[in-house]
Amino acid sequence: MSRTSPETRCHPGGDSTSAPSICVLGIGNLLWADEGFGVRCVEALQQRHEFAPQVSLVDGGTQGLYLIQHVQSADRLLIFDAIDYGLEPGTLKLVRDDDVPRFMGAKKMSLHQTGFQEVLSLAQLTGQYPAQVLLIGCQPQELDDYGGSLRPVVKAAMDEALALGVAEIARWGGQPVPRRQPLRGRETVTMDELALAAYETLRPAPEAACREGDERFFPKAA
């Protein structure tokens, strides 16, 4: 089981509304192995649970600054992401509130983290920063595998990450319950073709798929 290392600093103040808006955001790139952890968490959360109307689940992918509207409009923000904390692969670490931008930029693994750190900073600058923010980050094992999926140790950490996320959403008033109605068609946060089972099952073997580029555009030998 992965270990959890919490940050305990709390955001001052709060929101007095009875139903604060809650945004659950998974960021990362599904196509680069453990980089897809955040998106996979949001995908699984949607498959397993239903929530109150004020809860929105967002596949943030690698959109960077295009996510600003989601951050600025949220009273509570829950982020799932793969973060290089320098810990053992599969280790979860919780970071809260004003410390989140610092951790997002501590050791960038990809451009999406640069962009999202800017999103958080811009939200703070404009005075539209959520009253409470929780980052549930997982230490990746492998990133350099284009078309690859989560490594077993990172996939195994998802259940604990989801349990922590559901507990936080419940504390925020998001009313999580086990899913009763099956998802239909394009209701899913990720496209059907990129859903975890299809993505892993349909990936061709290395000998059946070029991993280095499109051979149609390789220079032809004279």
* CA distances (Å), origin 201, targets 147, 154, 194, 205: 12, 18, 11, 10
- Render 65-76 in DSSP notation, one character per residue: GGGHHHHHT-SE
The residue among 37 and 201 whose pLDDT is bigger is 37
CA distance 53 to 50: 9
At 92, is the secondary structure helix, strand, or coil?
Answer: strand
| SS3 at position 170 | helix
| Nearest-angstrom CA–CA distance, 112 and 51 | 27
Give pLDDT, residue 12: 37
At 64 the three-state DSSP class reads helix
Beta strands in 131-189 (DSSP E): 132-138, 177-178
**Stretch 130-142: mean pLDDT, rounded?**
95
- In this structure, of 74-78, 87-91, 198-202, the range with the lowest mean pLDDT score is 198-202
Alpha-carbon distance of 215 to 222, in angstroms, equals: 16
Residue type, 55: V
- Euclidean distance between CA atoms 94 and 47, whole angstroms: 23
Q: What is the pLDDT of residue 31?
A: 85
CB atoms within 10 A of CB 17: 11
Residue 99 pLDDT exceeds 90 = no
Mean pLDDT across the chain: 82
Mean pLDDT of 96-108: 75
pLDDT at 3 exceeding the cut of 50: no
Query: With a threshold of 0.75, does the pTM exceed it?
Result: yes
Q: Is residue 197's pLDDT more than 80?
A: no
- Please give the residue that has the higher pLDDT: either 106 or 22: 22
d(CA 130, CA 146): 34
- Cβ atoms 92, 83 nearer than 8 A: no
Q: Partners of 206 in the beta sheet?
A: none
Mean pLDDT for the stretch of residues 199-219:
65
pLDDT of 36-47, one tens digit each? Answer: 999 999 999 999
Burial of residue 28, with CB atoms counted within 10 A of its CB: 0-12 exposed, 13-18 middle, 19 or more buried: buried
Confidence at residue 109, expressed as pLDDT on a 0 to 100 scale: 57
Please tell me whether residue 50 adopts helix, strand or coil conformation. Answer: strand
